[in-house]
């Protein structure tokens, strides 16, 4: 599979990484390198319930939301999704806990 800089991939350690550089001998991420023909990676694809950034390049919008299905970004008028990594804002946690 051909990857490009900026792609999000899941490595064999089951951790998400964003590709920052690609060379003939391996792919580089912000925090480590994968070397080898297959790189032991797969392209990230959101699953239902994953927290993601919905991104609209034209209007410079970034919105945190839960993925209902992998094509959500098109349904809501966004160009693409990126994984949300980190802690959810307090108001989102509280609204989830109330349901």
- Predicted TM-score (pTM) of the model is 0.70
Helix (H, G, I), strand (E, B) or coil at 72: helix
What's the 3-state SS for 9-68? EEECCCCEEEEEEEECCEEEECCCEECCCCCCEEECCCCCCCEEEEEECCCCEEEEEECC
Please report, for the chain, the start and end positions of each structural domain, with discontinuous segments joined by +: 8-43, 51-98
pLDDT in tens, 19-30: 888 777 666 666
Amino acid 49: pLDDT: 85
pLDDT in tens, 25-75: 666 666 666 655 455 778 888 888 888 888 888 888 888 888 877 665 565
Band (pLDDT 50/70/90 cuts) for residue 12 is confident
Helix (H, G, I), strand (E, B) or coil at 81: strand
Alpha-carbon span 87 to 76, nearest angstrom: 23
């Amino acid at each position: 599979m051909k990857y490009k800089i900026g792609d999000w991939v899941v490595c064999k350690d089951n951790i998400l990484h964003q590709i920052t550089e690609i060379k003939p001998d391996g792919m580089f991420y912000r925090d480590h390198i994968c070397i080898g023909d297959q790189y032991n990676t797969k392209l990230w694809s959101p699953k239902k319930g994953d927290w993601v950034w919905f991104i609209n390049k034209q209007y410079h919008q970034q919105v945190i939301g839960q993925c209902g299905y992998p094509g959500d970004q098109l349904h809501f008028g966004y160009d693409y999704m990126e994984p949300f990594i980190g802690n959810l804002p307090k108001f989102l946690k509280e609204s989830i806990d109330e349901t």
